[in-house]
Amino acid sequence: MLSAAGAAAAVLAAIERDCSVATAVVIESAGDPPRGARLVVAEDGTVLGELGRVTGEVRSAASALLQTGGSHTLKSEDVTVFVDAMLPPNHLVIVGAGHIAVPLAEIGVLLGCRVTVLDDREEFATEERFPATAQVRRVDFSDPFGDIRIGAHTSVVLVTRAHKYDYDCLRRLLEFPVQPKYIGMIGSRRRVRAAFHALLEHGIPRDRLAAVYAPVGIEIGAETPAEIAVSIAAEMIAVTRGAAVNEQMSARERVLDRLLKEANGSRDL
């Protein structure tokens, strides 16, 4: 039987993998499964423990909670099981460690995110420039994500210093089998349009490109790095919370729609 310590270790391991995880414990039982029996179900399919005849039913209830978090008490004949699900903290990955990245990392920490900052420049990729809890890595932009897990609880903001690096990083990102909850890329319409055009030519599906928020942020008249960071963070919150936002710059510019119209012969760019 899975012990309480074993279940706790499995939960911590799942959170470390950026996976939602649900635990189930029998709180009332006439015998089988015994009171105190446990089951752990993780978003990546990992299952530990056994609850006898109610295992399938409990697994289904646990799986349903993995998307939303929260708890549920399941009763099946003479067995009562308490199921509780936890979502991992949002992992904010900031690609580019320039002036916008510093306040954006600070805001990410305030929002409770696990923050990782990536850059290829030694003088910018320094822990001293960022909050103490942020992880700062020096990487090669041709493969920036390396051993960083990119998944459904990840938000990625591309604020590199050059169009080439934005393109390389975005292409790599869009090739992952599981896409981040949020992808934002800074840049003018022309810069975004060039990147989208190249990615379409590379074979990236249109629906994946359509999920990229570019130009990034909500229109608030931002000018300073801190104001731009607030604009980006506001959009990220809206997307992760499922809120409708009418002032997203990506929606206003409609870069992808305009690009496809041009390909069909239109000149309304």
Give the pLDDT of the chain (269 residues) as one tens digit per residue. 899 999 999 999 998 888 899 999 999 998 889 999 999 999 989 999 999 999 999 999 999 999 888 999 999 889 999 999 999 889 999 999 999 999 999 999 999 999 999 999 999 999 999 999 999 999 998 889 988 888 888 999 999 988 888 889 999 999 998 899 999 999 888 888 888 988 999 999 999 999 999 999 998 999 999 999 999 999 999 998 888 766 666 665 566 676 666 666 654 43
Could you give the domains of the chain? 4-86 (no CATH), 91-263 (3.40.50.720)
CA 32 to CA 18: how far, in whole Å? 33
CA 40 to CA 38: how far, in whole Å? 7
Residue 171: count of CB within 10 angstroms of its CB? 15
CA 181 to CA 28: how far, in whole Å? 38
Q: How many CA atoms lie within 13 A of 178 on its CB side?
A: 13
Helix 255-263, helix 189-202: angle, nearest 10: 60
Prediction pTM value: 0.78
Residue 176: count of CB within 10 angstroms of its CB? 14
Over the stretch 165-201, which tens digit does the pLDDT of each residue have?
A: 888 999 999 999 889 999 999 988 888 888 898 899 9
Whether residue 59 contacts residue 12, with contact meaning beta carbons closer than 8 Å, is answered with: no
Write down the pLDDT at residue 268.
45
